[in-house]
Chains A and B, each alone.
Chain A
Protein backbone atom coordinates (compact mmCIF):
# COMPACT_ATOMS: atom_id res chain seq x y z
CA UNK A 1 0.00 0.00 0.00
CA UNK A 2 1.13 3.54 -0.70
CA UNK A 3 -0.02 6.11 1.84
CA UNK A 4 0.40 9.00 -0.61
CA UNK A 5 -1.98 7.42 -3.14
CA UNK A 6 -4.55 6.54 -0.44
CA UNK A 7 -4.47 10.05 1.02
CA UNK A 8 -4.63 11.69 -2.42
CA UNK A 9 -7.63 9.53 -3.38
CA UNK A 10 -9.42 10.52 -0.18
CA UNK A 11 -8.48 14.18 -0.55
CA UNK A 12 -9.93 14.31 -4.06
CA UNK A 13 -13.23 12.87 -2.82
CA UNK A 14 -13.52 15.03 0.27
CA UNK A 15 -12.90 18.18 -1.77
CA UNK A 16 -15.57 17.22 -4.29
CA UNK A 17 -18.88 19.05 -3.99
CA UNK A 18 -20.66 16.01 -5.42
CA UNK A 19 -19.25 13.71 -2.76
CA UNK A 20 -20.04 16.10 0.09
CA UNK A 21 -23.59 16.55 -1.23
CA UNK A 22 -23.98 12.76 -1.34
CA UNK A 23 -22.80 12.50 2.28
CA UNK A 24 -25.43 15.05 3.29
CA UNK A 25 -28.07 13.06 1.40
CA UNK A 26 -27.06 9.87 3.22
CA UNK A 27 -27.13 11.68 6.57
CA UNK A 28 -30.62 13.03 5.87
CA UNK A 29 -31.77 9.58 4.78
CA UNK A 30 -30.35 8.09 7.98
CA UNK A 31 -32.37 10.62 10.01
CA UNK A 32 -35.52 9.96 7.99
CA UNK A 33 -35.45 6.14 8.19
CA UNK A 34 -35.10 6.31 11.97
CA UNK A 35 -38.90 6.59 12.00
CA UNK A 36 -39.22 3.23 10.24
CA UNK A 37 -39.69 -0.01 12.16
CA UNK A 38 -37.18 -1.80 9.93
CA UNK A 39 -33.65 -0.57 10.73
CA UNK A 40 -31.16 0.52 8.04
CA UNK A 41 -33.79 0.79 5.31
CA UNK A 42 -32.40 3.03 2.57
CA UNK A 43 -28.92 4.34 3.31
CA UNK A 44 -27.12 0.97 2.71
CA UNK A 45 -28.44 1.07 -0.88
CA UNK A 46 -27.17 4.64 -1.23
CA UNK A 47 -23.77 3.52 0.07
CA UNK A 48 -23.66 0.74 -2.53
CA UNK A 49 -24.57 3.22 -5.30
CA UNK A 50 -21.78 5.49 -4.03
CA UNK A 51 -19.31 2.61 -4.20
CA UNK A 52 -20.28 2.03 -7.86
CA UNK A 53 -19.89 5.74 -8.69
CA UNK A 54 -16.53 6.10 -6.95
CA UNK A 55 -15.20 2.65 -7.86
CA UNK A 56 -15.86 3.31 -11.55
CA UNK A 57 -13.12 5.97 -11.56
CA UNK A 58 -10.33 3.53 -10.70
CA UNK A 59 -7.80 2.71 -13.47
CA UNK A 60 -10.12 2.57 -16.53
CA UNK A 61 -10.87 6.30 -16.85
CA UNK A 62 -7.32 7.09 -15.71
CA UNK A 63 -5.99 5.76 -19.03
CA UNK A 64 -7.21 8.90 -20.75
CA UNK A 65 -5.23 11.17 -18.43
CA UNK A 66 -1.53 11.85 -18.44
CA UNK A 67 -1.52 11.34 -14.67
CA UNK A 68 -1.57 7.54 -14.93
CA UNK A 69 1.49 7.62 -17.20
CA UNK A 70 3.26 9.89 -14.72
CA UNK A 71 2.40 7.50 -11.89
CA UNK A 72 3.55 4.33 -13.65
CA UNK A 73 6.84 6.03 -14.53
CA UNK A 74 7.46 6.51 -10.79
CA UNK A 75 8.86 4.06 -8.21
CA UNK A 76 5.54 2.47 -7.32
CA UNK A 77 4.40 -0.98 -8.40
CA UNK A 78 1.25 -0.92 -10.45
CA UNK A 79 -0.46 -3.45 -8.18
CA UNK A 80 0.43 -1.29 -5.16
CA UNK A 81 -1.04 1.75 -6.90
CA UNK A 82 -4.21 -0.18 -7.80
CA UNK A 83 -4.72 -1.55 -4.27
CA UNK A 84 -3.99 1.87 -2.76
CA UNK A 85 -6.63 3.46 -4.99
CA UNK A 86 -9.13 0.77 -3.95
CA UNK A 87 -8.28 1.36 -0.28
CA UNK A 88 -8.71 5.12 -0.66
CA UNK A 89 -12.10 4.73 -2.36
CA UNK A 90 -13.24 2.14 0.18
CA UNK A 91 -12.22 4.49 3.00
CA UNK A 92 -14.42 7.22 1.47
CA UNK A 93 -17.33 4.78 1.15
CA UNK A 94 -16.75 3.70 4.76
CA UNK A 95 -17.10 7.32 5.84
CA UNK A 96 -20.40 7.51 3.93
CA UNK A 97 -21.65 4.29 5.60
CA UNK A 98 -20.54 5.65 8.99
CA UNK A 99 -22.48 8.87 8.33
CA UNK A 100 -25.57 6.80 7.43
CA UNK A 101 -25.50 4.51 10.45
CA UNK A 102 -24.54 7.29 12.86
CA UNK A 103 -27.34 9.60 11.72
CA UNK A 104 -29.89 6.78 12.09
CA UNK A 105 -28.60 5.90 15.59
CA UNK A 106 -28.63 9.55 16.68
CA UNK A 107 -32.16 10.04 15.32
CA UNK A 108 -33.42 6.86 17.00
CA UNK A 109 -31.84 7.96 20.30
CA UNK A 110 -33.41 11.42 20.00
CA UNK A 111 -36.81 10.02 19.09
CA UNK A 112 -36.56 7.58 21.99
CA UNK A 113 -39.65 5.70 20.86
CA UNK A 114 -37.98 2.30 20.96
CA UNK A 115 -34.64 0.72 21.80
CA UNK A 116 -31.93 1.23 19.18
CA UNK A 117 -31.62 -2.00 17.12
CA UNK A 118 -27.86 -2.17 17.58
CA UNK A 119 -27.23 -5.61 16.09
CA UNK A 120 -29.23 -5.12 12.86
CA UNK A 121 -27.65 -1.70 12.37
CA UNK A 122 -24.13 -3.06 12.94
CA UNK A 123 -24.88 -5.95 10.59
CA UNK A 124 -26.24 -3.59 7.90
CA UNK A 125 -23.18 -1.35 8.30
CA UNK A 126 -20.72 -4.25 7.92
CA UNK A 127 -22.69 -5.82 5.06
CA UNK A 128 -22.92 -2.54 3.14
CA UNK A 129 -19.15 -2.15 3.43
CA UNK A 130 -18.59 -5.68 2.21
CA UNK A 131 -20.98 -5.28 -0.74
CA UNK A 132 -19.23 -1.98 -1.53
CA UNK A 133 -15.82 -3.68 -1.42
CA UNK A 134 -17.07 -6.27 -3.90
CA UNK A 135 -18.54 -3.63 -6.23
CA UNK A 136 -15.33 -1.57 -6.12
CA UNK A 137 -13.21 -4.68 -6.70
CA UNK A 138 -15.28 -5.79 -9.70
CA UNK A 139 -15.23 -2.30 -11.20
CA UNK A 140 -11.47 -2.10 -10.66
CA UNK A 141 -11.01 -5.46 -12.36
CA UNK A 142 -13.11 -4.32 -15.32
CA UNK A 143 -11.26 -0.98 -15.30
CA UNK A 144 -7.91 -2.73 -15.51
CA UNK A 145 -9.11 -4.53 -18.66
CA UNK A 146 -10.88 -1.62 -20.37
CA UNK A 147 -10.58 2.13 -20.63
CA UNK A 148 -12.79 5.14 -19.97
CA UNK A 149 -16.02 4.23 -18.10
CA UNK A 150 -16.58 0.94 -19.92
CA UNK A 151 -16.10 -0.74 -16.54
CA UNK A 152 -19.33 0.65 -15.12
CA UNK A 153 -21.13 0.08 -18.43
CA UNK A 154 -20.17 -3.62 -18.36
CA UNK A 155 -20.93 -3.90 -14.63
CA UNK A 156 -24.42 -2.42 -15.01
CA UNK A 157 -25.13 -4.37 -18.20
CA UNK A 158 -24.23 -7.70 -16.58
CA UNK A 159 -26.36 -6.88 -13.54
CA UNK A 160 -29.37 -5.91 -15.65
CA UNK A 161 -28.89 -8.83 -18.05
CA UNK A 162 -28.72 -11.40 -15.25
CA UNK A 163 -31.90 -10.07 -13.65
CA UNK A 164 -33.70 -9.92 -17.00
CA UNK A 165 -32.70 -13.44 -18.03
CA UNK A 166 -33.69 -14.85 -14.62
CA UNK A 167 -37.10 -13.18 -14.88
CA UNK A 168 -37.55 -14.35 -18.46
CA UNK A 169 -36.65 -17.94 -17.61
CA UNK A 170 -39.06 -17.85 -14.68
CA UNK A 171 -41.86 -16.69 -16.97
CA UNK A 172 -41.05 -19.23 -19.67
CA UNK A 173 -41.02 -22.05 -17.15
CA UNK A 174 -44.65 -21.36 -16.26
CA UNK A 175 -45.81 -21.63 -19.89
CA UNK A 176 -46.83 -25.12 -21.05
CA UNK A 177 -44.56 -25.60 -24.05
CA UNK A 178 -41.38 -27.36 -25.13
CA UNK A 179 -39.13 -24.69 -23.74
CA UNK A 180 -40.78 -24.99 -20.34
CA UNK A 181 -40.06 -28.72 -20.33
CA UNK A 182 -36.48 -28.08 -21.34
CA UNK A 183 -36.06 -25.59 -18.47
CA UNK A 184 -37.62 -28.01 -16.02
CA UNK A 185 -35.25 -30.75 -17.17
CA UNK A 186 -32.26 -28.38 -16.99
CA UNK A 187 -33.00 -26.61 -13.73
CA UNK A 188 -29.24 -26.22 -13.20
CA UNK A 189 -29.21 -23.57 -15.96
CA UNK A 190 -31.45 -21.26 -13.98
CA UNK A 191 -29.76 -22.17 -10.72
CA UNK A 192 -26.37 -21.34 -12.25
CA UNK A 193 -27.57 -17.91 -13.33
CA UNK A 194 -29.03 -17.22 -9.89
CA UNK A 195 -25.78 -18.36 -8.26
CA UNK A 196 -23.75 -16.11 -10.57
CA UNK A 197 -26.05 -13.17 -9.84
CA UNK A 198 -25.73 -13.82 -6.11
CA UNK A 199 -21.95 -14.14 -6.40
CA UNK A 200 -21.43 -10.87 -8.29
CA UNK A 201 -24.30 -8.80 -6.93
CA UNK A 202 -25.11 -10.30 -3.52
CA UNK A 203 -28.03 -9.07 -1.47
CA UNK A 204 -27.02 -8.61 2.17
CA UNK A 205 -28.60 -11.23 4.48
CA UNK A 206 -31.08 -9.98 7.12
CA UNK A 207 -29.00 -11.51 9.90
CA UNK A 208 -25.21 -11.91 10.37
CA UNK A 209 -24.05 -14.77 8.14
CA UNK A 210 -20.40 -15.85 8.28
CA UNK A 211 -20.67 -17.98 5.15
CA UNK A 212 -22.03 -15.03 3.16
CA UNK A 213 -19.27 -12.75 4.50
CA UNK A 214 -16.54 -15.23 3.52
CA UNK A 215 -18.02 -15.78 0.05
CA UNK A 216 -18.29 -12.06 -0.71
CA UNK A 217 -14.81 -11.37 0.68
CA UNK A 218 -13.34 -14.22 -1.39
CA UNK A 219 -15.04 -12.95 -4.57
CA UNK A 220 -13.72 -9.44 -3.94
CA UNK A 221 -10.22 -10.79 -3.28
CA UNK A 222 -10.35 -12.85 -6.48
CA UNK A 223 -11.43 -9.79 -8.48
CA UNK A 224 -8.59 -7.73 -7.00
CA UNK A 225 -6.01 -10.41 -7.77
CA UNK A 226 -7.20 -10.52 -11.39
CA UNK A 227 -7.17 -6.71 -11.52
CA UNK A 228 -3.57 -6.60 -10.27
CA UNK A 229 -2.42 -9.23 -12.78
CA UNK A 230 -4.18 -7.45 -15.66
CA UNK A 231 -2.87 -4.00 -14.74
CA UNK A 232 0.71 -5.24 -14.20
CA UNK A 233 0.70 -6.76 -17.68
CA UNK A 234 -1.16 -3.99 -19.45
CA UNK A 235 0.44 -1.42 -21.69
CA UNK A 236 -0.19 2.22 -20.78
CA UNK A 237 0.08 4.10 -24.05
CA UNK A 238 0.04 7.84 -24.34
CA UNK A 239 0.15 10.27 -27.22
CA UNK A 240 -0.98 8.99 -30.56
CA UNK A 241 -1.01 5.23 -29.95
Chain B
Protein backbone atom coordinates (compact mmCIF):
# COMPACT_ATOMS: atom_id res chain seq x y z
CA UNK B 1 0.00 0.00 0.00
CA UNK B 2 1.41 3.37 -0.99
CA UNK B 3 1.72 6.11 1.59
CA UNK B 4 2.60 9.78 1.42
CA UNK B 5 6.17 8.78 2.28
CA UNK B 6 6.54 7.24 -1.18
CA UNK B 7 8.48 9.49 -3.50
CA UNK B 8 8.59 7.42 -6.66
CA UNK B 9 11.51 6.80 -8.97
CA UNK B 10 14.06 9.53 -9.60
CA UNK B 11 16.94 9.48 -12.03
CA UNK B 12 19.34 12.30 -12.67
CA UNK B 13 22.18 12.62 -15.15
CA UNK B 14 22.16 8.93 -16.07
CA UNK B 15 24.85 8.15 -18.62
CA UNK B 16 25.62 4.75 -20.07
CA UNK B 17 27.99 3.69 -22.84
CA UNK B 18 28.82 0.44 -24.56
CA UNK B 19 31.88 -0.70 -26.45
CA UNK B 20 30.95 -2.04 -29.86
CA UNK B 21 33.18 -2.71 -32.87
CA UNK B 22 36.09 -1.03 -31.11
CA UNK B 23 34.16 2.18 -30.52
CA UNK B 24 32.48 3.64 -27.49
CA UNK B 25 28.78 4.28 -28.04
CA UNK B 26 27.13 6.59 -25.56
CA UNK B 27 23.57 5.26 -25.41
CA UNK B 28 22.27 7.39 -22.54
CA UNK B 29 23.63 10.94 -22.46
CA UNK B 30 22.33 12.27 -19.18
CA UNK B 31 18.76 11.19 -18.51
CA UNK B 32 16.71 12.99 -15.87
CA UNK B 33 13.29 11.69 -14.96
CA UNK B 34 10.78 11.56 -12.13
CA UNK B 35 8.17 8.82 -12.02
CA UNK B 36 5.54 9.39 -9.38
CA UNK B 37 3.35 6.93 -7.45
CA UNK B 38 0.01 6.32 -9.13
CA UNK B 39 1.35 7.49 -12.47
CA UNK B 40 1.52 5.59 -15.75
CA UNK B 41 4.38 6.85 -17.89
CA UNK B 42 5.03 5.78 -21.46
CA UNK B 43 8.53 5.44 -22.83
CA UNK B 44 8.61 5.85 -26.59
CA UNK B 45 11.26 6.47 -29.17
CA UNK B 46 12.83 5.02 -32.30
CA UNK B 47 14.87 1.82 -32.25
CA UNK B 48 18.27 2.41 -30.67
CA UNK B 49 17.08 5.43 -28.71
CA UNK B 50 18.11 3.80 -25.45
CA UNK B 51 14.71 2.76 -24.05
CA UNK B 52 15.76 -0.76 -23.07
CA UNK B 53 19.09 0.52 -21.74
CA UNK B 54 17.29 3.09 -19.62
CA UNK B 55 14.92 0.44 -18.27
CA UNK B 56 17.90 -1.85 -17.55
CA UNK B 57 19.64 0.95 -15.63
CA UNK B 58 16.49 1.71 -13.64
CA UNK B 59 16.10 -1.97 -12.74
CA UNK B 60 19.77 -2.30 -11.77
CA UNK B 61 20.68 -4.74 -14.56
CA UNK B 62 23.16 -2.19 -15.90
CA UNK B 63 25.28 0.27 -13.92
CA UNK B 64 25.32 3.82 -15.25
CA UNK B 65 28.76 5.42 -15.52
CA UNK B 66 27.35 8.65 -14.17
CA UNK B 67 24.21 9.80 -12.46
CA UNK B 68 22.02 8.37 -9.77
CA UNK B 69 18.80 6.38 -9.53
CA UNK B 70 16.66 6.14 -6.42
CA UNK B 71 13.37 4.44 -5.61
CA UNK B 72 11.64 6.18 -2.70
CA UNK B 73 15.04 7.64 -1.79
CA UNK B 74 16.77 4.25 -1.69
CA UNK B 75 19.20 2.78 -4.23
CA UNK B 76 17.64 0.52 -6.84
CA UNK B 77 19.55 -2.56 -5.63
CA UNK B 78 18.14 -2.30 -2.12
CA UNK B 79 16.32 -5.55 -1.35
CA UNK B 80 13.30 -3.75 0.16
CA UNK B 81 12.94 -1.90 -3.15
CA UNK B 82 13.29 -5.10 -5.17
CA UNK B 83 10.54 -6.64 -3.06
CA UNK B 84 8.30 -3.85 -4.39
CA UNK B 85 9.41 -4.07 -8.03
CA UNK B 86 7.72 -5.95 -10.86
CA UNK B 87 9.16 -6.39 -14.32
CA UNK B 88 7.88 -7.83 -17.59
CA UNK B 89 10.74 -8.49 -20.02
CA UNK B 90 10.34 -8.17 -23.74
CA UNK B 91 11.90 -11.55 -24.38
CA UNK B 92 10.06 -14.54 -22.95
CA UNK B 93 12.67 -17.27 -22.74
CA UNK B 94 11.50 -18.38 -19.31
CA UNK B 95 12.28 -21.67 -17.56
CA UNK B 96 11.00 -24.19 -20.06
CA UNK B 97 11.19 -27.11 -17.62
CA UNK B 98 8.27 -25.78 -15.58
CA UNK B 99 4.53 -25.61 -15.88
CA UNK B 100 2.87 -22.22 -15.62
CA UNK B 101 1.75 -23.08 -12.11
CA UNK B 102 5.25 -24.14 -10.99
CA UNK B 103 6.81 -21.05 -12.56
CA UNK B 104 4.40 -18.67 -10.84
CA UNK B 105 4.83 -20.35 -7.46
CA UNK B 106 8.62 -20.16 -7.81
CA UNK B 107 8.50 -16.48 -8.72
CA UNK B 108 6.14 -15.82 -5.81
CA UNK B 109 8.55 -17.50 -3.40
CA UNK B 110 11.61 -15.56 -4.58
CA UNK B 111 9.54 -12.37 -4.52
CA UNK B 112 8.87 -12.81 -0.83
CA UNK B 113 5.13 -13.53 -1.04
CA UNK B 114 4.05 -15.05 2.31
CA UNK B 115 3.97 -18.84 1.99
CA UNK B 116 0.31 -19.02 3.04
CA UNK B 117 -0.72 -16.69 0.20
CA UNK B 118 1.33 -18.14 -2.65
CA UNK B 119 -1.24 -20.60 -4.02
CA UNK B 120 -4.11 -18.14 -3.69
CA UNK B 121 -2.24 -15.35 -5.45
CA UNK B 122 -0.87 -17.60 -8.19
CA UNK B 123 -4.32 -19.06 -8.86
CA UNK B 124 -5.82 -15.56 -8.84
CA UNK B 125 -3.30 -14.23 -11.37
CA UNK B 126 -3.72 -17.26 -13.65
CA UNK B 127 -7.48 -16.74 -13.54
CA UNK B 128 -7.12 -13.01 -14.23
CA UNK B 129 -4.77 -13.60 -17.16
CA UNK B 130 -6.97 -16.35 -18.61
CA UNK B 131 -4.40 -19.10 -18.11
CA UNK B 132 -6.20 -21.34 -15.60
CA UNK B 133 -6.86 -24.07 -18.15
CA UNK B 134 -3.17 -24.06 -19.17
CA UNK B 135 -1.69 -23.89 -15.71
CA UNK B 136 -0.42 -27.48 -15.74
CA UNK B 137 0.93 -27.25 -19.29
CA UNK B 138 4.68 -26.93 -19.69
CA UNK B 139 5.90 -23.44 -20.57
CA UNK B 140 7.50 -24.82 -23.72
CA UNK B 141 3.99 -25.56 -24.94
CA UNK B 142 2.86 -21.97 -24.34
CA UNK B 143 2.35 -19.68 -27.31
CA UNK B 144 4.19 -16.34 -27.32
CA UNK B 145 1.00 -14.60 -26.20
CA UNK B 146 0.56 -17.06 -23.32
CA UNK B 147 4.19 -16.52 -22.27
CA UNK B 148 3.56 -12.79 -22.30
CA UNK B 149 0.50 -13.29 -20.11
CA UNK B 150 2.39 -15.41 -17.59
CA UNK B 151 5.23 -12.87 -17.57
CA UNK B 152 2.66 -10.21 -16.66
CA UNK B 153 1.26 -12.50 -13.95
CA UNK B 154 4.68 -12.99 -12.31
CA UNK B 155 5.30 -9.24 -12.40
CA UNK B 156 2.08 -8.39 -10.58
CA UNK B 157 1.50 -11.25 -8.15
CA UNK B 158 3.52 -9.71 -5.32
CA UNK B 159 1.61 -6.40 -5.66
CA UNK B 160 4.63 -4.26 -6.55
CA UNK B 161 4.75 -0.48 -6.23
CA UNK B 162 7.16 -0.01 -9.15
CA UNK B 163 6.14 -1.79 -12.33
CA UNK B 164 8.28 -1.89 -15.46
CA UNK B 165 6.63 -3.24 -18.60
CA UNK B 166 8.72 -3.79 -21.71
CA UNK B 167 6.39 -4.30 -24.68
CA UNK B 168 3.89 -6.22 -22.53
CA UNK B 169 1.24 -6.58 -25.22
CA UNK B 170 3.30 -7.05 -28.37
CA UNK B 171 2.19 -10.68 -28.83
CA UNK B 172 -1.31 -10.41 -27.40
CA UNK B 173 -4.61 -10.68 -29.23
CA UNK B 174 -7.12 -7.79 -28.93
CA UNK B 175 -8.65 -9.32 -25.78
CA UNK B 176 -5.20 -9.57 -24.26
CA UNK B 177 -4.45 -5.95 -25.14
CA UNK B 178 -7.68 -4.86 -23.42
CA UNK B 179 -6.77 -7.00 -20.41
CA UNK B 180 -3.34 -5.39 -20.12
CA UNK B 181 -4.99 -1.97 -20.35
CA UNK B 182 -7.35 -2.90 -17.50
CA UNK B 183 -4.51 -4.30 -15.40
CA UNK B 184 -2.43 -1.14 -15.85
CA UNK B 185 -5.39 0.98 -14.79
CA UNK B 186 -5.98 -1.23 -11.75
CA UNK B 187 -2.33 -0.95 -10.72
CA UNK B 188 -2.49 2.82 -11.16
CA UNK B 189 -5.62 2.97 -8.97
CA UNK B 190 -3.77 0.89 -6.36
CA UNK B 191 -1.09 3.59 -6.34
CA UNK B 192 1.66 1.82 -8.26
CA UNK B 193 3.99 3.60 -10.63
CA UNK B 194 4.01 2.02 -14.09
CA UNK B 195 6.67 2.62 -16.74
CA UNK B 196 5.50 1.28 -20.09
CA UNK B 197 8.01 0.82 -22.89
CA UNK B 198 6.03 0.26 -26.06
CA UNK B 199 6.00 0.91 -29.77
CA UNK B 200 2.20 0.66 -29.78
CA UNK B 201 1.50 4.39 -29.69
CA UNK B 202 -2.27 3.93 -29.60
CA UNK B 203 -1.99 1.85 -26.44
CA UNK B 204 0.44 4.28 -24.84
CA UNK B 205 -1.98 7.08 -25.62
CA UNK B 206 -4.86 5.18 -24.03
CA UNK B 207 -3.24 4.21 -20.73
CA UNK B 208 -0.44 6.68 -19.99
CA UNK B 209 -0.68 9.90 -18.03
CA UNK B 210 2.61 11.11 -19.40
CA UNK B 211 4.92 10.10 -22.16
CA UNK B 212 8.69 10.47 -22.40
CA UNK B 213 10.08 10.57 -25.90
CA UNK B 214 13.62 9.23 -25.93
CA UNK B 215 15.83 10.23 -28.82
CA UNK B 216 19.60 10.16 -29.16
CA UNK B 217 20.05 9.08 -25.55
CA UNK B 218 18.12 12.00 -24.10
CA UNK B 219 14.54 12.72 -23.09
CA UNK B 220 13.84 14.78 -26.21
CA UNK B 221 10.29 15.58 -25.20
CA UNK B 222 7.98 14.99 -22.23
CA UNK B 223 4.27 15.29 -22.85
CA UNK B 224 1.37 15.18 -20.42
CA UNK B 225 -1.44 13.13 -21.96
CA UNK B 226 -3.87 13.31 -19.10
CA UNK B 227 -4.13 16.04 -16.57
CA UNK B 228 -5.54 14.65 -13.38
CA UNK B 229 -6.71 18.13 -12.28
CA UNK B 230 -8.63 19.02 -15.42
CA UNK B 231 -11.13 17.46 -17.74
CA UNK B 232 -10.18 18.26 -21.35
CA UNK B 233 -12.45 17.29 -24.24
CA UNK B 234 -12.27 17.70 -28.00
CA UNK B 235 -15.70 18.57 -29.45
CA UNK B 236 -16.31 18.19 -33.15
CA UNK B 237 -19.07 20.45 -34.44
CA UNK B 238 -21.06 19.94 -37.62
CA UNK B 239 -19.71 22.19 -40.37
CA UNK B 240 -21.83 25.31 -40.91
CA UNK B 241 -23.86 24.78 -37.77
CA UNK B 242 -21.92 27.17 -35.53
CA UNK B 243 -20.72 30.70 -35.23
CA UNK B 244 -16.98 30.69 -34.47
CA UNK B 245 -17.07 33.84 -32.34
CA UNK B 246 -19.97 32.47 -30.26
CA UNK B 247 -18.14 29.18 -29.78
CA UNK B 248 -14.99 31.04 -28.70
CA UNK B 249 -16.99 33.10 -26.21
CA UNK B 250 -18.56 29.96 -24.66
CA UNK B 251 -15.57 27.60 -24.75
CA UNK B 252 -12.87 30.17 -24.07
CA UNK B 253 -10.88 29.00 -27.11
CA UNK B 254 -11.46 29.49 -30.80
CA UNK B 255 -12.39 26.40 -32.83
CA UNK B 256 -9.72 24.97 -35.11
CA UNK B 257 -11.65 23.92 -38.17
CA UNK B 258 -14.66 22.06 -36.78
CA UNK B 259 -13.01 21.15 -33.50
CA UNK B 260 -13.04 23.10 -30.29
CA UNK B 261 -11.07 22.06 -27.22
CA UNK B 262 -12.88 22.69 -23.96
CA UNK B 263 -11.37 22.45 -20.53
CA UNK B 264 -12.91 22.46 -17.09
CA UNK B 265 -12.04 21.27 -13.59
CA UNK B 266 -14.99 18.89 -13.62
CA UNK B 267 -17.00 16.84 -16.09
CA UNK B 268 -20.06 18.86 -14.98
CA UNK B 269 -18.23 22.01 -16.17
CA UNK B 270 -17.68 20.42 -19.58
CA UNK B 271 -21.34 19.37 -19.70
CA UNK B 272 -22.36 22.98 -19.03
CA UNK B 273 -20.21 24.21 -21.92
CA UNK B 274 -21.71 21.55 -24.21
CA UNK B 275 -25.25 22.67 -23.24
CA UNK B 276 -24.34 26.31 -23.98
CA UNK B 277 -22.88 25.34 -27.36
CA UNK B 278 -26.12 23.53 -28.29
CA UNK B 279 -28.18 26.49 -27.09
CA UNK B 280 -26.06 28.74 -29.35
CA UNK B 281 -27.19 26.63 -32.32
CA UNK B 282 -24.09 24.49 -32.79
CA UNK B 283 -24.68 20.83 -33.70
CA UNK B 284 -22.29 18.41 -31.99
CA UNK B 285 -21.00 15.45 -34.00
CA UNK B 286 -18.54 13.95 -31.50
CA UNK B 287 -17.10 14.47 -28.03
CA UNK B 288 -13.94 12.65 -26.97
CA UNK B 289 -11.21 13.06 -24.34
CA UNK B 290 -8.40 15.20 -25.66
CA UNK B 291 -4.95 13.65 -25.52
CA UNK B 292 -1.73 14.56 -27.22
CA UNK B 293 -1.34 13.08 -30.67
CA UNK B 294 1.57 10.73 -30.10
CA UNK B 295 1.98 9.94 -33.75
CA UNK B 296 2.58 13.61 -34.51
CA UNK B 297 4.93 13.90 -31.55
CA UNK B 298 6.83 10.82 -32.68
CA UNK B 299 7.13 12.11 -36.24
CA UNK B 300 8.03 15.61 -35.14
CA UNK B 301 10.67 14.63 -32.63
CA UNK B 302 12.43 11.78 -34.42
Contacts and interface: CB of A to CB of B under 8 A. Distances in A.
B60 A75 contact: no
A72 B89 CA distance: 12
Interface string A4-21: 110010011001100000
A74 B97 contact: no
Interface string B43-87: 000001000110110011111000000000000000110110101
A66 B93 contact: yes
Contacts of B60: 72-73
Interface string B97-113: 11000100011011110
A2 B110 CA distance: 8
Interface in A109-160: none
A64 interface: yes
A69 B62 contact: no
Contacts of A95: none
B64 to A, nearest CB: 11
B215 to A, nearest CB: 16
Interface in A44-85: 64-67, 69-77
Contact of B110 (A16, A64, A74, A240): A74
A69 B82 contact: no
B150 to A, nearest CB: 11
Contact of B80 (A15, A75, A236): A75
Interface size class of B (residues with CB under 8 A): 35 or more
Contacts, number: 89
Residue among A4, A16, A64 with most chain B CB within 10 A: A4
A238 B80 CA distance: 23
A16 B97 contact: yes
A75 B95 contact: no
B94 interface: yes
Nearest to A11: B102
B97 A75 contact: no
B110 A4 contact: yes
Given A15-B97, A75-B83, A239-B166, A66 B91 contact: yes
B90 interface: yes
A185 to B, nearest CB: 43
A64 B85 CA distance: 22
B198 interface: no
A205 interface: no
A71 B95 contact: no
B27 to A, nearest CB: 8
Given A237-B62, A241-B18, A66 B94 contact: yes
A83 to B, nearest CB: 14
B110 A237 contact: no
A69 B61 contact: yes
Residue among B52, B56, B83, B110 with most chain A CB within 10 A: B110
Given A4-B106, A239-B56, A67 B83 contact: no
Nearest to B167: A239
B61 to A, nearest CB: 5
Nearest to A233: B63
A241 B79 CA distance: 25
B48 to A, nearest CB: 8
Given A67-B93, A241-B53, A77 B79 contact: yes
10 contacts: A12-B97, A65-B95, A71-B110, A72-B61, A73-B85, A73-B87, A75-B80, A75-B111, A235-B62, A239-B55
